[in-house]
Homo-oligomer: A and B are copies of this chain.
Amino acid sequence: MSLARTVVGYTGYIDCLPSEVLAGKEVIATGMTGEVARCERAVESALAGFDTAVVSSGDAGVYGMAGLVLEILEKRGLLTRIEFEVIPGIPAVCAAAALLGAPLTHDFAVISLSDLLTPWEVIVKRIEAAAAADFVIALYNPRSKRRSGQLAQALGIVRRARGAAVGLVRQAFREGQKVGVCRLDAFDPEAVDMLSLVIVGNSMTRIAGDRMLTPRGYAEKYDL
């Protein structure tokens, strides 16, 4: 990004950037649900010949803007004309997992509960499949004011398949960080908002001290 002449992003993420990173650059910042307009302006900037960076939080490929930029380049027939590169980052699921201990040491499914772009029935089907096949489940966009009941419904599906430990991380590695681990039946969905990420353990996940631990299976094979 240091080489970019133009930096494009959601206002909330642009505000997270140190001011020296943005010094001397054109900044295009827009609000929530402005994703399409924002990415189109980024493509316009690149078309005009300027090195342009689109910023996401976490990893730009996980529910981030990498896909939308690529889709716009494809739709407009610009795939060979504009050079496009995705720089990987630490996804929110890994930041949250690190704070919780080691919940992702076995197979996991990442599911967004936002039904803005995905029908709720598809989301439910994925939660059911992940619960039945005993995946650890990471829930992005777990709850908003508009969607206050869906998290409880999602956790109800998992609870029918198994008892489990559950971890909640809010604002991972940011101001206002909160981290908590408890049993699924003691979990209060009301404590969750859009700045949170929820990780539900698989049937082997246990609480170790104040951490969440999904064993990989060494204890069954070796003497620890």
Query: Are A66 and B105 CB-contacts (below 8 A) given A98-B86, A129-B133?
Result: yes
**Nearest chain B CB to A186's CB is how many angstroms away?**
20
Across the interface, name the chain B residue whose C-beta is closest to A109. Answer: B109
Check: A117 CB closer than 8 A to any chain B CB: yes
Cα(A134)–Cα(B126), bound, Å: 8
Q: Which residues between 167 and 213 of chain A lie within 8 Å of chain B, taking CB atoms?
A: 208-209, 211, 213
Across the interface, name the chain B residue whose C-beta is closest to A96. Answer: B88
Chain B residues closer than 8 Å to A216, beta-carbon distance: 63, 67-68, 117
In contact, A70 and B213 (Cβ under 8 angstroms): yes
Partner of A66, one of B61, B102, B111: B102
Per-position binary interface string of chain A over residues 145-184, scored 1 when its CB falls under 8 Å from any chain B CB and 0 otherwise: 0000000000000000000000000000000000000000
The interface-forming segment of A4-12, A18-26, A74-82 is A74-82
Interface size class of A (residues with CB under 8 A): 35 or more
In contact, B117 and A214 (Cβ under 8 angstroms): no
Partner of A218, one of B86, B117, B217, B221: B117
In contact, A102 and B218 (Cβ under 8 angstroms): no
Check: A14 CB closer than 8 A to any chain B CB: no
**Nearest chain B CB to A64's CB is how many angstroms away?**
7
Query: Are A222 and B36 CB-contacts (below 8 A) given A107-B112, A209-B79, A216-B117?
Result: yes
Chain B residues closer than 8 Å to A64, beta-carbon distance: 105
Chain B residues closer than 8 Å to A70, beta-carbon distance: 101-102, 208, 211, 213
Check: A27 CB closer than 8 A to any chain B CB: no
Partner of A90, one of B90, B102, B208: B90
Chain B residues closer than 8 Å to A132, beta-carbon distance: 129
Check: A46 CB closer than 8 A to any chain B CB: no
